[in-house]
Amino acid sequence: MPNLHEKSAAELAGLLRDKKISAVEITKSALERINTLEPTLHSFVNVYPDLAVTMAEQADRMIQDGSARPLTGIPIAIKDNMCLKSRKTTCGSKILANFTPPYDATVVNLIKNEGMVILGSANMDEFAMGSSTETSCWGPTKNPWDTERIPGGSSGGSAAAVASCQATVALGSDTGGSIRLPASFCGVTGMKPTYGAVSRFGLVAYASSLDQIGPFARDIKDIALMLNLLCKHDPMDSTSVPVQRSDFSTFLDKKPSGMTLGVPVEFFNKLSNQDVERSLTEARKVFEKLGVKFVELSLPSLDYGIAAYYVIAPCEASSNLARYDGVKYGHRAENFDGMIDMYCRTRAEGFGPEVKRRIMLGTYALSWCYYDAYYLKAAKIRTLITQDFKKAFEGCDGIFCPVAPAPAFKIGEKIDDPIQMYLTDVFTIPVNMAGLPGISCPAGFSSDGLPIGMQIIASHFQESKLVQLVSAFQRETDHHLKHPAI
């Protein structure tokens, strides 16, 4: 069957159930696609054809014996910061270039138990620190829509793999927009669930109070299937929340008539890109046609979100990355004079410039004479942001806003200007600060053919509302059905 790689997970699952194709056929089609595109895009750090075919054969056996699950046989890419037993997990960093985990992350266990097929580990910004997937020690990933442009970060490899049909679905992690930004820039759908909804056990930590694993797919039906798989309580993760979860697929056909979306003035006042404004205006008209009401609201503390985030996240990174010292695992400097010199040389050689910058920022902000002035104040702002959102959700079902200030920029354009790079996250960071679920959905294209996403934010553990709204939107539009000509 031709063009298997272009079909959605839901479509492939139906073909597998009807025994019209096999998981091995699907997997070989994906691997052929990767072989063709990988030299151009560099979506993956490692591809595992042997593992993928073995898992596909196991999936076919599950289908034959009647033990198949909804996503059995579906190919998936895993971001390179999730532990995959006996396979390298590098986090895009030289310091972990040869690290092989002795165990699987919980989400990887769920994928294996489901009978999904792991194609490989997707490229990412080093330790998830970046908005462009340019800081990876393995080199940048390129945007399938324009290979001179970035795919977004830090989960750029995952988004590019799905957008280019190398993988049917993928996993990413989102600390300040690292799922939603790449989804927007690559023209796919990406969900950042509520903090605590998906287990982080086995996710290599960047900022532990902000990190969250979530799925990429080309449409919302596949996102719903992935959420059903991922959103489970895990006793191995102390931040995993034991809440009653619905079948997200049941919300796909629910009409959004009567729902209300809030429009934050603080976000739209910052918009200056005409293509983004036009796409969001047209998306709003679609929702209004569907019976969704819009109300203007104010979230005054969002103006301080970027500043507070770039105190809190580097502080947590400084603490989390202290473990990489060259003693037990990871890179170790070859030439050194004593233990302290070994630590210093190992970390100097192993970390890239952006990771070093954030470690230094965090260490400075946590020092005894500056803790109150920086970290404590940022934590208070975080509380105010959370309170602003809580108040806003008293009058609306979700918040409608941009994902990024502009479409994807060119590779190298902002890499030497940290402030401009950080401002790319201005619309995504507050969601992580408040621990809320947010989704990026294709909403249009720029005048030069680049994808533009819209963001919808919901209250805690209300991912079902996001599924309902985006599903209705995608029934009325075809942005998510378009593929890059690569």
Among 8, 154, 155, 173, which one carries the catalytic annotation?
A: 154
Q: Where in the sequence is the domain holding 428, given as residue range(s)?
A: 4-261+396-481
Inter-residue contact 153 to 178 (CB < 8 Å): yes
Tell me, what's the pLDDT at 3?
A: 85
Number of domains in the chain: 1
How much of the chain is helix, strand and coil, in % rounded to 5?
45, 15, 45
Quick check: is 154 catalytic? yes
Inter-residue contact 331 to 349 (CB < 8 Å): yes
Tell me, what's the pLDDT at 369?
A: 87
Taking each helix axis from N to C terminus, what angle separates 353-366 and 305-320, rounded to the nearest 10 degrees? 100
Helix (H, G, I), strand (E, B) or coil at 414: coil
Quick check: is 328 catalytic? no
Tell me, what's the pLDDT at 486?
A: 87
Tell me the pLDDT of the chain (486 aa) as tens digits: 668 999 999 999 999 999 999 999 999 999 999 999 999 999 999 999 999 999 999 999 999 999 999 999 999 999 999 999 999 999 999 999 999 999 999 999 999 999 999 999 999 999 999 999 999 999 999 999 999 999 999 999 999 999 999 999 999 999 999 999 999 999 999 999 999 999 999 999 999 999 999 999 999 999 999 999 999 999 999 999 999 888 999 999 999 999 999 999 999 988 999 999 999 999 999 999 999 999 999 999 999 999 999 999 999 999 999 999 999 999 999 999 999 999 999 999 999 999 999 999 999 999 988 999 999 999 999 999 999 999 999 999 999 999 999 999 999 999 999 999 999 999 999 999 999 999 999 999 999 999 999 999 999 999 999 999 999 999 999 999 999 998
Tokens of 56: 């596909």
Tell me, what's the pLDDT at 65?
A: 96
Among 7, 22, 43, 79, which one carries the catalytic annotation?
A: 79
Count other Cβ atoms within 10 Å, centred on residue 28: 16
The DSSP bridge partners found for residue 76 are: 118, 169
The helix (run of H) or strand (run of E) holding residue 265 is helix 265-268
Closest CA to 1 of 23, 36, 25: 25
Q: Which CATH number characterizes residue 27's domain?
A: 3.90.1300.10
Side-chain half-sphere of 362: how many Cα atoms within 13 Å? 21
In a domain, 217, yes or no: yes
Among 29, 164, 178, 318, which one carries the catalytic annotation?
A: 178
Tell me, what's the pLDDT at 260?
A: 98
Tokens of 431: 């969601």
In a domain, 373, yes or no: no
In a domain, 413, yes or no: yes
Greatest alpha-carbon span in the chain: 70
In a domain, 369, yes or no: no
Q: Rounded to whole angstroms, how far apart are CA atoms 271 and 110?
A: 40
Quick check: is 79 catalytic? yes
CA 2 vs CA 20, 49, 81, 414, 482: distances in Å? 12, 20, 33, 40, 18
